[in-house]
Structure 1
Amino acid sequence: MSKHVLSVGNCGFDNARLAQKLSAWFDVEVTTAADGRSALAMVRDRQFDLVLVNRVFDATAESGLDLIAQMKNSRELAAIPVMLISNFPEYQRKAEELGAMPGFGKQNLNAEAVKRLLSPYLADSKP
């Protein structure tokens, strides 16, 4: 059974890279949202196993940390696992302080460590 991932705020190129890498590792369906409003509507409407949030949204320049805070402050959405995608450790720390799971940077996407980081949320799919 496929897992469902929501990718928020990434450009088309990065969404394609994420979908390709996640699909190579796991049996996943990746859905995209360009902005926080769309993302919140989607997570309220559909069950996601993981939400991947870009630090700064490509289309709107919104803060991914703001979306994480909104989700984690919502009784309805707080239990959904969320990770920040950022190469900057200080933003990763802030995301974790807000309740996100430890995330990763785009430059590390191909690393085996990222696969291990994602496995608790997306495994039990492809061997």
Structure 2
Amino acid sequence: MAEIETEGFEFFGVEEREFRMMVIERIETMMVHSKLSKNTLAQKANLGRSSFYEKMDREGRSHFTLLDIFRIAKALDISILQIFPMTELERQHGGQLPLSASTLHFLDQMLAAPKEDIEFLSDVYKNLQQRDQKDI
């Protein structure tokens, strides 16, 4: 079987506190993307509010359980893998997603647009790129 090129799911060399902060960062980003407050996410995930707040404290010592992670992912309607920083680049940037929450929201809106609108915007973007290339 051919080797599948992955960047790995391992977190060797990442301290537990640093990893926990990366997970918190990603959950916060997903909350912004979904327009949820901590209180609302705790309710949707069926987690105790005070417990959730404590676990979201970057300086605290509480940790999310695997069940918490599953519940949060389900409440956010995402894969649990999206909660973890998967690539070395993401880890170097503190677990942040490659795109901002506002950009992710915009992309979701664009992908939900009718095919004709997407094609039109694609053509506009191509024209802008061609114009920028001429200016160089």
Structure (1/2) with the larger helix percentage:
2
Q: TM-score, length-normalised on structure 2? A: 0.27
Structure (1/2) with the larger strand percentage:
1
